[in-house]
Structure 1
Amino acid sequence: MKRQRAEQAGRKGELAAELFLRAKGWFILARRRKTPLGEIDLIARRSGTIAFVEVKWRKRAEELGLAVDEYRLRRVAAAVEAVAHEYATDGEDMRIDVILLAPGRLPQHIVNAWQP
């Protein structure tokens, strides 16, 4: 039951992140893109840039600082490597972004969060 609630909250967070990106002029290319190496929450394009976005939702804003770590970003990066060629064409820039969400707080968009 707890896992189901967490899954629902995660999906709501992903929808909120999608709406946030759309409001900033991003076009959503994919949602919850599964790969053999993991899942990418959102893939978006704007002005020659493809952003592979990890979305983190927490009940309390104080917990957001621990929501993303090197291990999680490395998994996202591995998933991106598996599918990047399907989305980035014609010399588009690629990056991994993170959007952090919590109730009562504006989304925090961390641009280019993974730089190995």
Structure 2
Amino acid sequence: MSEVRRLRGLKARGEGRWAEVQAALLLMAKGYRILGFRLAARQGEIDILALRGKVLAAVEVKRRTSLEAALEAVYPAQRERIRRAAERVAATRSSLAGVMVRLDLIALAPGRWPRHIPDAWQGG
């Protein structure tokens, strides 16, 4: 792997981590409790798992040039994997019994405030 490619990958991962921190701060300001970051499950990876009341939000964080681009960046198969992973987490933790699992998006774009979209794909 070339040095340029390696450095580009490092920069992208750093920007992704920073986007997740910004997203978590926004969620906490809205009253969510962050349960985990980058949770890997057999079903898929969850960027942020957050709880508010009886809603367990599996939050996908996307940094793109626009909100539309962020929404389009998460394909149906990926959304289903994230949803299954969150449902699995909820099923294996007794403290999460009875929660409603929801798939949210936090979109970040240069020069704009982060935008939280609850149930971003309306169950799709």
Determine the C-alpha separation between the residues in 1 that align with 2:78 and 2:61.
11
Are 2:83 and 2:102, in contact at CA under 8 Å, matched by a contact in 1?
no
Between Structure 1 and Structure 2, whose CA radius of gyration is higher?
Answer: 2
C-alpha displacement at 1:76, in angstroms?
A: 1.2
User: Which whole-Å deviations, capped at 9, do the CAs of 1:80-99 have from their partners, x for residues lacking one?
Assistant: 23322135634222211111
Mapping 1:20-99, distance limit 5 Å: 20-58=26-64, 60-61=65-66, 63-87=69-93, 89-99=96-106
Match of 2:60, SS state, is: strand
The unaligned stretches of length 5 or more in structure 2 are 1-5
Aligned residue pairs: how many?
Answer: 115
For the aligned residue pairs, the C-alpha RMSD in angstroms reads 2.0
The residue type equivalent to 2:62 in the other structure is K
Q: Which moved more, 1:31-40 or 1:77-86?
A: 77-86
Report the CA distance shift for 1:28/1:107 in structure 2 as closer, same or farther (over 3 A): same
Percent identical among aligned pairs is 41
In the superposition, the TM-score normalised over structure 2's length comes to: 0.79
| Runs of at least 4 residues off by over 3 Å | none
The unaligned stretches of length 5 or more in structure 1 are none
User: Which whole-Å deviations, capped at 9, do the CAs of 1:26-60 have from their partners, x for residues lacking one?
Assistant: 110111111112210111111221111111112x2
C-alpha displacement at 1:73, in angstroms?
A: 1.1
C-alpha displacement at 1:74, in angstroms?
A: 2.0
Report the CA distance shift for 1:18/1:83 in structure 2 as closer, same or farther (over 3 A): same
